[in-house]
Structure 1
Amino acid sequence: MWLQASCSLEFDIPVPTPFLLMLRPRSGTQQWVAREDYMLNPSVPVVEFTDQFGNLCQRLVSPVGWFAIHTTAVIEVADAADAAPGAPFVEVQCLPDSALPFLLPSRYCESDRFSQMAATITAGFLPGYNQCMAIVDYIRNTLQYAPGAGQAIISAAEVNQQPQAVCRDMAHLGIALCRALSIPARMVVGYLEGLMPMDLHAWFEAYVGGRWYTFDPTQDSLAGGRVAVAYGRDATDVAIYTQFGDPVELLSMYVSVDRLPGPPH
């Protein structure tokens, strides 16, 4: 399917402020970016680089006063996320080098604290994809998905003590449990068609059967219409914007995802 995904941010800037942005999706095996618009108002110089996870990042210094960022992308994506029950566990010595960072504990995914819990949740399931699904089912049945309920970023260990969670928190718990089983897992932030209320969304991917597969504890089925914008070890790596220095006020944020009848002309 073809989607048009947009994100608009408006800030009140008290002093010239350095920003690091992560707002550009990139083409890959699961999506093709056909067209993009990236507008800054007022316009300022931007330097773009690719981080260690392949994310397209932009550096700039915003001027004092009102400052707005607007991005729109037209992307071809899968109608449904791939599912692969029975996809096998990949032994650590056989993993690609690029997957190894996603085996280790990280700031918000303390996988070293979840070994026993992960083993209990996945007991009796085939190693690999089926274990990941058991983890997703556990999270979905244990935590109430409450979009918009959590502003502060909390770790997997803290999430595990809560009755409800936002998508980011549920992804953190899923990642920590997968890594506790030596299954590489990474966080994804992007867009999801039909998400209610509409916002940026977070899910996770796990490496089994020789490739990355999508898992999303917030959804009853593996819906397609996903646009990945950023990948990382946890929320630390995938912030769509990071500002440095004195705090700035985010005046508004608007996200939209619309299905298009066909490719752009």
Structure 2
Amino acid sequence: MVLMLRPRSGAGQWVISEEYTIVPPVPVTEFTDLYGNLCQRLMAPAGPLQVRTQMVVQTDDGIDVQPGAPLTLVQDLPDDVLHFLLPSRYCPADQPEISQQASSIIEGVEPGYDQAEAIRHWINTNLTYQYGTSDATTSALETLQKRIGVCRDFTHLGISLCRSLNIPARMVVGYLHELKPMDLHAWFEAYVDGRWFTFDATQTTPKGNRITVAYGRDAADVAFVTQFGPATLQNMSVWVDTAS
């Protein structure tokens, strides 16, 4: 198994302390993947395996917003941002239906931050959030057609629509304080005016107090567990509280 459960200190967050326990104890090694995520690698023994992580993280109360921030032209993008323009497994940004919808959403909107925000707002107001309406194979194109899904699906669609407009976009997974119902959460970031900005299509207003765990092109890069053998998830609990 490869687990992705440890946040690292960075923009908007500082990891004060953390605990990581595995029962029964097994040898674990850690590496950093292509996107800078901390990954824990282990051989799971036969039988039950319990993994528990707990951390105290100082987070920003808000997220940066910058209406009017201009588009960063493709020729001016850093080399390590270019691949966030390309289609990926769950984000077929090159599909005509995706680009047509993006063009419709941003008609009359200035290129850059305002276009990414228009996409976030359109998804928030035109899609229904509902559990059990998608699965691990659902792509952004299917979500666009069905207009229903969960945070993973909203995020894939936002990424695809941005990329179709030559706005680099990446997936982020982590935790959001006061998310209801509480679970692991997904949102996207768009690269404009030379930096990344946060967009969450499941929320009606910008919200901070986020703990980022992983970045990637889409869900294939940011799974909290990747298994290379048979295993069944029997129980998972997620909680985020204000530290006293």
TM superposition score normalised by structure 1? 0.89
Q: How many positions carry a matched residue from both structures?
A: 242
**Preserved contact between residue 137 and residue 217 of structure 1 (Cα < 8 Å):** yes
Q: Equivalent of 1:152, from 133, 136, 143?
A: 136
Q: Sort the Cα spacing of 1:168 and 1:241 in 2 relative to 1 into closer, same or farther, 3 A.
A: same
Unaligned runs of 5+ residues in structure 1 are: 1-18
Query: Comparing both chains, which one has the higher relative contact order based on Cα–Cα distances under 8 Å and sequence gaps of 6 or more?
Result: 1
Q: What does residue 7 of structure 2 align with?
A: 25
Q: Equivalent of 2:239, from 256, 261, 264?
A: 256
User: 1: CA distance between counterparts of 2:80 and 2:57?
Assistant: 25
Deviation at 1:90, TM superposition (A): 0.1
Deviation at 1:149, TM superposition (A): 4.4
User: 2: CA distance between counterparts of 1:148 and 1:128?
Assistant: 34
Q: What does residue 137 of structure 1 align with?
A: 121
Answering whether residue 205 of structure 2 is matched by residue 202 of structure 1, we say no
Q: CA RMSD in A?
A: 1.1
| Residues 14-163 of structure 1 mapped to structure 2, 5 A cutoff | 19-113=1-95, 114-147=98-131, 149-163=133-147
One-letter code aligned to 1:220:
T
| SS, match of residue 101 in structure 1 | helix
One-letter code aligned to 2:200:
D
Q: What does residue 186 of structure 1 align with?
A: 170
User: 2: CA distance between counterparts of 1:161 and 1:117?
Assistant: 11
Answering whether residue 158 of structure 2 is matched by residue 174 of structure 1, we say yes
Structure that is richer in strand per residue:
1
Q: What does residue 149 of structure 2 align with?
A: 165
Deviation at 1:189, TM superposition (A): 0.5
Q: Sort the Cα spacing of 1:35 and 1:64 in 2 relative to 1 into closer, same or farther, 3 A.
A: same
User: 1: CA distance between counterparts of 2:118 and 2:137?
Assistant: 25
| SS, match of residue 231 in structure 1 | strand
User: 1: CA distance between counterparts of 2:67 and 2:111?
Assistant: 11
Q: Sort the Cα spacing of 1:53 and 1:80 in 2 relative to 1 into closer, same or farther, 3 A.
A: same
User: 1: CA distance between counterparts of 2:154 and 2:211?
Assistant: 19
| SS, match of residue 189 in structure 1 | strand
Deviation at 1:164, TM superposition (A): 1.5
Deviation at 1:81, TM superposition (A): 1.2
Unaligned runs of 5+ residues in structure 2 are: none
Q: Sort the Cα spacing of 1:204 and 1:83 in 2 relative to 1 into closer, same or farther, 3 A.
A: same
Give identity over the alignment, percent.
57
User: 1: CA distance between counterparts of 2:131 and 2:188?
Assistant: 16
**Preserved contact between residue 147 and residue 197 of structure 1 (Cα < 8 Å):** no
Deviations 1:131-183 (A, max 9, x none): 00111111112101124543333111010111321000000000000000110
Deviation at 1:34, TM superposition (A): 1.1
User: 2: CA distance between counterparts of 1:138 and 1:158?
Assistant: 16
One-letter code aligned to 2:237:
Y
Deviations 1:45-96 (A, max 9, x none): 1110000000000110011111100011111111011111111100011111
Q: What does residue 208 of structure 2 align with?
A: 224
User: 1: CA distance between counterparts of 2:211 and 2:132?
Assistant: 20
TM superposition score normalised by structure 2? 0.96
